[in-house]
Amino acid sequence: MSKTKKAATPAEHGPGTPGWYPRVGELWPGQGIYAGIMRGDPGEPDHHLFISADPASMKSSVAWGPRDIEVAGAKSERNGAANTAALVACLQEHPAAKWAAGLTVDGHSDWYLPSRRELRLLWVNCAEAFPAGWYWSSTQSSAGDAWDQLFDDGGQGFGGKGYQGRARAVRRLVIQ
């Protein structure tokens, strides 16, 4: 009778081993606190999502942007980096996206405002890392509203773009 060896899981490998990544909520050295894998939009690759423990990566009060303006390219449910880039490139001011895109934290300057589904993943996997309340996503719902995530009970909704709300920057590592 032959013995079969159980395949090692990614968490059983160490840093530098191909396919290695830490458990959700743990530090991925050189990247940030690992929040999990986000599925990409159709035709786009999936990506690892990260947050930082640095208080600079959180903002307690910031507006999303002007009401009654529809921003082309800021409706992705999964790609907050693309949404943030579209908002920052817009002629009108989008304070939450501009703040996130301008951060340099933990040696990285590729931070962005998470999309609607990235925020949902953060609530599912890392809710304990967020003070209770609602947080802006980079995903607009309409010309007047943008999606937000509640870290009290997990609900999602949308609020007027001119309201002041919390924001948390994230970064990603695309899976090739």
Q: Which pLDDT value is given to residue 6?
A: 42
Q: Which pLDDT value is given to residue 12?
A: 54
Q: Which pLDDT value is given to residue 2?
A: 44
Tokens linked to 45:
């690759």
> In this structure, what is the dihedral angle of CA atoms 71, 154, 41, 87, given to the nearest 10 degrees?
20
In angstroms, the CA 43 to CA 91 distance is 29
Q: Which pLDDT value is given to residue 176?
A: 81
The pTM score is: 0.89
Taking the CA of residue 171 as centre, how many other CA atoms within 13 Å lie in the half-sphere pointing to its CB? Answer: 21
Q: Which residues of the chain have pLDDT under 70?
A: 1-18
Q: Which pLDDT value is given to residue 7?
A: 37
Closest CA to 24 of 46, 6, 40, 48: 48
| CB-CB contact of 48 with 39 (8 Å) | no
Q: Which pLDDT value is given to residue 21?
A: 84
**Cβ neighbours, 10 Å, residue 163:** 16
In angstroms, the CA 123 to CA 129 distance is 9
